[in-house]
Structure formats: structure tokens, C-alpha cells
Amino acid sequence: MDKKKATLTVDGTVPIELDVLRGSLGQKELDIRTLGAQGYFTFDPGFTSTASCQSKITYIDGDQGVLLYRGFPIDQLALNSNYLEVCYILLYGETPNLDQFYKFQGSVTNHFVLHEQIHHILRGFCRNSHPMAMLCAMTGALATIYHDSMDVNRKTHRDLTAKRLLAQMPIMASMCYRYSRGKPFIYPRNDFSYAGNILYMMFSSPSDKYVVNPILERALDCILILHADHEQNASTSTIRTVGSSGANPFSCIAAAVASLWGPSHGGANEACLLMLEEIGTVENIPLFLQRAKDKNDSFRLMGFGHRVYKNYDPRAMVMRDICHEVLNHLEVKKDLMEVAMKLEYLALHDSYFIERKLYPNVDFYSGIILQAMGIPSSMFTVIFAIARTVGWIAHWKEMHDEGLKIARPRQLYTGYTRRNFNSKIK
């Protein structure tokens, strides 16, 4: 990186010199690592202006609405790649040739069988448990099984873990779904694609031949690609934070799943669909827009706004096209799509949303597509978790490849000053 200098003067003291770091696409960042030793910390709750690491995986330009995986634009990948190829690109940085791709695919499908003990863990849960709760527990429980790949300091172990998680996340996810419906578990097939296997494991019956619908398979594959990585979002920052202590990869993934579940993050797709259903008809939209703008009302327009994008989320554009394709193909009722499109139009022409640069994000249309495919809303964030697993692992691997530094933020203490203790219970 090309280094320039910045100086910081606090209360007229001797100026502190800071390096200005330049990212490969020109972004400027002040290197404040020496400030602590000089008695100063920076204050940035929610990390609105803080880069916690350097990374070569994903680039976002929120003002321009740009998203690149290893330099490749997201729309090109969504239209011309497949999820496993994107996984390879995210994990290894380059596009695979055919031989590398087949080897990689084979090394993932090699792990298509889940340890039987995981079934017992699942069977301990109430049938009506939320699938994200079950998935979180199951991913963490893998640490009780795969002792042969938990030495985080060994590259071979990290690579083995990556393949295992890519293979087994969709198996565990579909098991959560089938368990909640009392259906027998189905294992993936080596001759189906990654997305095709998710549909197969969720919807097939052991006694019937299952034919994967190519339109739905392609749509799901696109959804997986669009959600595969998004640099230092809450769940990815979580995995880096948890992993920075040297914790085993399965505990790290469980923590990321937990973080993703929140409605401000991956839970937004489920919340968005529920919101669209609650709005119900286009006539009700103005009332809900009014509520979203009212500071005394906790209601927010789900699927709208983003910490980084202050322009149209490039993933939302692809998602809207897939949504049309799937709804047309399935010839299902388009009521929710109509509500979504009208809501988008009205919000984009409303000064509240314009001034705050609030645009539809990736979750605005994804719920409508998943619902049309027959996936229940409680599984939406689970599908997101399957897709994001590769991003989490890519960041976890990158962090280990580059050498660990434990995440240990400081704070601005605003509590009591020193005082003497006198017990009131004596």
C-alpha cells in the first residue's frame, strides 16, 4: 500500500503523525494503531468509520452501489457463474479451471454424510423450535465430532473444515426443516447441483423420484451467490472476533449463525415478508410508510436501508429480476410482488427516504422468491446462512493465514469514579 501521512493535534499538544493507508480501489484509511500507546483511543460505536482488518476478498462501494467478489462484479457472477464456482473464487482468490473445479466439487461432495450423533442432538429439540436456533446448536455441536480438523494453526485442518462446512451446512439446514415437519431426513446426491440438492433435501419424498425444477434451481443458485459474502458485516465481524481468540471453527460458525439471525441483519428477509403480508394491499402502504417515518413508532421498513449502501443495493436489482422470473414461471398470485414494487416506488419518491439515502437492500425481494418456491419464512435466514457460510470461512481462513491478533476493543468509560465499598447486606 502507498503510504501518505496525516497529523493529529489534540489540545495543542505535539502533533501525532499517522499513516494514511490506501486500499487497492483508492479508499483512504487512517492508521491509528499507534494512538493507544500515546494515550488516545478512538470512539466509534457500531464501527461506522472503523476498518477492523484488511482483506482481499470482497469490495463494496456503498455510494456507487458496487459489490465485487475478488474483483468480479456481483451481477456478472450471479448471471454467469454457479455457487460452487463462486465458493472457489471466494476461498482461493482466482477462477478455477475445469480440473480445479471438479476436484473442488469432489472434495465438497466427499463430506456429504453427516455424523449420526448430530441426528441425536437434533432429536432433542422441540419440533416447533426455530430452525435458526437448531442450526446454531448443530453447527456448534460439530466441534464435539470433528477432532481431526480443529487445529486452527494447521492449514490442512482449516481447508478440511471449509469443505466439511460447505457440504454439511445445507444437510443440517434441510434436516431442521424436515424435523420440524416430522419428515424423514434426505441426504444429498452427487449428481445434483448445490442448489438442486437443497431443493431435493427439503422437498423430496423417499418413495418418489425427484426432478429438480431448473428455473427454481437457477433462482436459488443466484440467491446463494448474491448472499455469499459481504465483507465485514455483523456476522462476518463476529466470526473474525470469535476466531481471533483461536476458537475452533465450528464454535466460530455457530456464533456467526447467531449474529445473522438478528432482524437488523439476516433476519430481515423473514421480517420483510411478514411486513409485506401485514401491509397486504397497496392501499395500506401510505399508512406503513408513515409509521416507518414516525420516530415514536419502532416500526421500520424492513428490506430497506443499509449501513454501507447509500445507493441501490446491486444485489437487490438482480433479486428483483429473479423474482419476476420465478413468479412468472410458477404462475402464482403476484399480490405481494405488487405491494413490494409499489412500496419501493413510493419510498424512493419520499423525501424521508431520499434524504437518508434509504434504498431496497438484498432482503427486500428475496422473501417473495423463497416463499413462491415453497420455502417457509422461518427458513429464509437459514438459506442465507447456507449461502454466507463460504464468506464466513473465507474471512476466517484469511485471518488465520495473515496471523492472529486477538480482537480487543477499548471503551469510553462513563461510569462512577472511584468510591469506597460499604456493604448494605451486613
Active-site amino acid positions: 306, 363
In the bound complex, what is the minimum distance in angstroms from residue 299's beta carbon to ligand ACO? 8
Burial class (CB in 10 A: 0-12, 13-18, 19+), 33: exposed
Q: Which three cell numbers stand for residue 291?
A: 409509521
Choose which of 200, 304, 365, 396 interacts with ligand ACO (CB under 6 A).
304
In the bound complex, what is the minimum distance in angstroms from residue 304's beta carbon to ligand ACO? 4
Cα–Cα separations (whole angstroms), residue 297 to 90, 149, 291, 325: 40, 48, 6, 36
In the bound complex, what is the minimum distance in angstroms from residue 277's beta carbon to ligand ACO? 16
Choose which of 70, 157, 163, 265 interacts with ligand ACO (CB under 6 A).
265
For residues 104 and 261, which CB has a smaller minimum distance to ligand ACO in the complex?
261
- Stretch of 169-177, 209-217, 263-271, 331-339 contacting ligand ACO, by CB under 6 A: 263-271
Q: Which residue is nearest to ligand ACO (CB)?
A: 305
Q: Which residue reads 487497492 in cell numbers?
A: 24
- Cα gap 200→389, rounded to integer Å: 20
Q: Which residues in the 332-371 window bind ligand ACO by CB under 6 A?
A: 356, 358, 361-363
Choose which of 131, 140, 196, 305 interacts with ligand ACO (CB under 6 A).
305
- Stretch of 185-193, 214-222, 305-313, 392-400 contacting ligand ACO, by CB under 6 A: 305-313
57 touches ligand ACO (CB under 6 A) = no
DSSP sequence for 272-331: HHHHHHHH-SGGGHHHHHHHHH-TTS----TTB--SS-SS--HHHHHHHHHHHHHHHHHT
- Do 88 and 101 form a contact (C-beta atoms < 8 A)? yes
In the bound complex, what is the minimum distance in angstroms from residue 308's beta carbon to ligand ACO? 8
For residues 70 and 265, which CB has a smaller minimum distance to ligand ACO in the complex?
265
In the bound complex, what is the minimum distance in angstroms from residue 275's beta carbon to ligand ACO? 10
310 touches ligand ACO (CB under 6 A) = no
Q: Which three cell numbers stand for residue 262?
A: 438478528
292 touches ligand ACO (CB under 6 A) = yes
Of 274, 271, 276, 275, nearest in space to 338 by CA: 276
For residues 55 and 381, which CB has a smaller minimum distance to ligand ACO in the complex?
381
Q: Which three cell numbers stand for residue 65?
A: 452501489
For residues 301 and 394, which CB has a smaller minimum distance to ligand ACO in the complex?
301
Burial class (CB in 10 A: 0-12, 13-18, 19+), 46: exposed
For residues 68 and 362, which CB has a smaller minimum distance to ligand ACO in the complex?
362
301 touches ligand ACO (CB under 6 A) = yes
For residues 18 and 272, which CB has a smaller minimum distance to ligand ACO in the complex?
272
For residues 249 and 266, which CB has a smaller minimum distance to ligand ACO in the complex?
266
- SS3 state of residue 426: coil
For residues 302 and 385, which CB has a smaller minimum distance to ligand ACO in the complex?
302
Choose which of 300, 310, 324, 342 interacts with ligand ACO (CB under 6 A).
300
Q: Which three cell numbers stand for residue 73?
A: 462484479
Q: Which three cell numbers stand for residue 168?
A: 454439511
In the bound complex, what is the minimum distance in angstroms from residue 230's beta carbon to ligand ACO? 7
Q: Sheet harboring 66-69: ordered strands across?
A: 58-61, 66-69, 72-73
Q: Which residues in the 211-250 window bind ligand ACO by CB under 6 A?
A: none
- Do 162 and 146 form a contact (C-beta atoms < 8 A)? no
- Stretch of 23-31, 262-270, 323-331, 335-343 contacting ligand ACO, by CB under 6 A: 262-270
In the bound complex, what is the minimum distance in angstroms from residue 297's beta carbon to ligand ACO? 10
Of 277, 278, 269, nearest in space to 302 by CA: 269
- Cα gap 102→96, rounded to integer Å: 9
Burial 98-114 (b: 16+ CB within 10 A, else e): eeeeeebbebbbebeeb
- In sequence order, the 6+-apart residues with CB closer than 8 A to the CB of 369 are 219, 223, 319, 322, 323, 326, 327
307 touches ligand ACO (CB under 6 A) = yes
- Stretch of 155-163, 189-197, 299-307, 407-415 contacting ligand ACO, by CB under 6 A: 299-307
Q: Which residue reads 454466507 in cell numbers?
A: 388
Number of residues that bind ligand ACO (CB under 6 A): 18
Instruction: List residues binding ligand ACO (CB under 6 A).
Output: 264-266, 268, 292, 300-307, 356, 358, 361-363
